[in-house]
Amino acid sequence: MTGNIKNICALLALLISSLIYSQELKYEEVVPVDSTVTKQELYNRARDWITKSLKDDGEVFTIEDSNEGEITGGGKLRYYTKKIYVGALCTIGYVNFKINIYLKNGRYKYIIHSLVHEGTNCRPKSAINYGLLTTNDKPDKTNDVFLRKGPWNDIKEKTDEKIKLLIYDLKDAMNKKHETNNNW
């Protein structure tokens, strides 16, 4: 009986550690704005921001529901590095992501998640894809000679910089009146 308990405990420890150490990298925040700003106004601001900020990066709306106060879309960030490491040219590519914006009167919540790296083909079938970015110090696919800690951290650092700029831009846009509400 104690052998079964030990096996169960070991299995639970393995499952918990894999969940803890493979957390998806994501950005999430509830942001208060002027309490008089309506959900519809915030919806208009968010929709305009996505259209203007992500259109060149392959933005796609998947949900637009002004009644529920939700906008969901996707985009991609260009990844480029000047660092020198084996396979560097094959890691240059994009980090695709999803964004959800939930809106209520006087506040909104954004979630930027599902950040997935895809390298470009520098030679036929030679792209180096790191896949889903996680909070791990090194990629899950460490058995591949090219998938090492240095490039993994570089991709995460550059993605983090770009996502933080995107968030700053979103917050700025969400504090400005929608064009149809300006007196022009």
Instruction: Kindly list the domain boundaries of the chain, sorted by start residue.
Output: 24-181
Cβ atoms of 80 and 92 closer than 8 Å: yes
Rounded distance between C-alpha atoms, residue 165 and residue 111, angstroms? 14
The pLDDT score that the predictor gives to residue 139 is 72
113-160 per-position pLDDT tens digit: 999 999 987 777 778 888 999 998 777 655 555 556 778 889 999 999
The pLDDT score that the predictor gives to residue 180 is 66
The angle formed by the CA atoms of residues 170, 138 and 11, to the nearest 5 degrees, is 105
The pLDDT score that the predictor gives to residue 147 is 59
Pull the structure tokens for residue 14: 């393995």
Q: 123 CB contacts (<8 Å, ≥6 apart)?
A: 90
Write the CATH number of the domain with boundaries 24-181.
Answer: 3.30.530.80
Least confident of 35-44, 86-95, 109-118, 141-150: 141-150
The pLDDT score that the predictor gives to residue 53 is 83
Regarding pTM above 0.75, the answer is yes
pLDDT exceeds cutoff 80 at 181: no
The pLDDT score that the predictor gives to residue 54 is 79
The pLDDT score that the predictor gives to residue 10 is 53
The pLDDT score that the predictor gives to residue 37 is 95
The pLDDT score that the predictor gives to residue 138 is 73
